[in-house]
Amino acid sequence: MTGSLHEKNGKWQLVLYGAVGILFPNKQTDNPDKKVCKWISSNLEATSKNRLLASKMLFDKITEYEQQEKREAEFTALANKGIDAPKCCLSKDVLFTDYIADWLARKQGQIQQSTWEKYQIYAERHIIPYFAELNVGLSELKPRHFVDYYQYKTTGGRLDGKEGGLDITSVRGHAALIRTILNEAVIFECINGNPAQNVPVPKRARTAPKAAKNVYMTAAEANNMLKTIEKEEIFPLVYVAIIYGLRKSEVLGLKWDAVDFDKDTLEIKSTVVKNKTIVYKDTTKTESSHETYELLPEIKALLLNIKSKQEHNRQEYEELYTHSDYIFTQSDGRLYRPDSVTRTFQRALRRHKLPEMRFHDLRHSTASILFDKGWDLEAVKSWLRHADIETTSNIYLHVSKERKHLLAEDMHGTFFTPNFEQNYDTESGEKRKNAS
């Protein structure tokens, strides 16, 4: 990159000589390395006094374009190595929203589709519209921008018109995505540091104690629920889910090749999830989620019954039957939609006037029941396939609080009761007047 000063119309002009792809990045050309010149006005009167100032401006402009040319070469080298770098950073004043859109486009196909769709929802419905109004550049971001954003989303940032903010879990998801995107921008030297790195997500203020969201059934409660809905279509999914503590995605993902009726094993290796589209994956949520259980006799009997019913339905529906390898299907072979399973389960509960709960509460109840049976933390962790013991411990602490009344009842009568003299009134605690 070279340059020179020229006088034109009484002003000093900066004339740069370099590649068209660098001087005119938005120009369509078959040869981006072709050498051209670019005239830039200094807006300085063409006097000898201003010549020194114009020369400094020319030097700074050449340096700016040389740095951009160097970055272009670096990004091209990364692309040749298969590294998808954010080319939008080649523009000096890239907007934060443009960088987010570029990040989403580059990550599609590189991460699991269900995860990408979740990020797309966070970005396109929430983060991009908010920051588009601010029109803030990537390099202009400050921690206060994210303080304001998190506060807005936790207090009144809903898109459905309802009062209040988003669930704190959703806002934390937004925060994690923002940090991930900006960490990449730091790695590729688009910005010097991540302004969102240490910004905490505020806790939503509560005016009254919030009722526990999760449901933890006892074995008696679970058995009552199972017996009551035994004739419901959703029953087989519920039964397998609560016995093995499976997630909804894992129950729906069970295929016949996961069952070995000879060795009596059941392998958890596939999932069905939905964000914007339904995704059928031959993978589990985490590596620890992939597990092989013993096929319990009651589950074996259930699955053999389902297998027999499916064969009958194939003959009944003939060409109208939807063939698949999945265990849990509707009578015509169609697969269950993940977003309808919980609603179907809750409708069954309402029909029988049972307490309302989410499908995932079956997994919580499995943990509760295992603790009540005396299983230790490590055993429960193994059965539920938690990635770390902390998750199991958090459930245990909650269940322990819920079960304190059971512990008290169990302790009652364990030890002998002394024969106390009735010298004190049992209600007021005051000493009786006739007591010696």
Q: What fold is seen in the domain 87-187?
A: DNA polymerase; domain 1 (1.10.150)
Q: Among the ranges 289-293, 327-331, 417-421, which has the highest mean pLDDT value?
A: 327-331
Query: 375-397: per-residue pLDDT in tens?
Result: 888 998 989 988 777 777 777 66
126-131 long-range contacts, CB within 8 A, separation 24+: 126/153, 126/157, 126/159, 126/174, 127/100, 127/174, 127/177, 127/178, 128/97, 128/100, 128/101, 130/157, 131/96, 131/97, 131/100
- How confident is the model at residue 208, as a pLDDT? 43
- How confident is the model at residue 209, as a pLDDT? 44
Query: 134-167: per-residue pLDDT in tens?
Result: 999 999 999 999 999 999 998 887 887 777 888 8
CATH architecture under which domain 219-409 falls = Orthogonal Bundle (1.10)
- Rounded to whole angstroms, how far apart are CA atoms 46 and 56? 14
User: Domain locations in the chain?
Assistant: 2-80, 87-187, 219-409
Mean per-residue pLDDT, 88-114: 85
User: The tokens 């998750």 sit on which residue?
Assistant: 391
- Rounded to whole angstroms, how far apart are CA atoms 288 and 124? 32
- How confident is the model at residue 254, as a pLDDT? 94
Packed helices 389-402 and 404-411: angle between N→C axes, nearest 10 degrees? 60
Please tell me whether the overall predicted TM-score, pTM, comes out greater than 0.75 for this model.
Answer: no
Mean per-residue pLDDT, 186-199: 91
Q: Is residue 403 very low, low, confident or very high in pLDDT (cuts 50, 70, 90)?
A: low
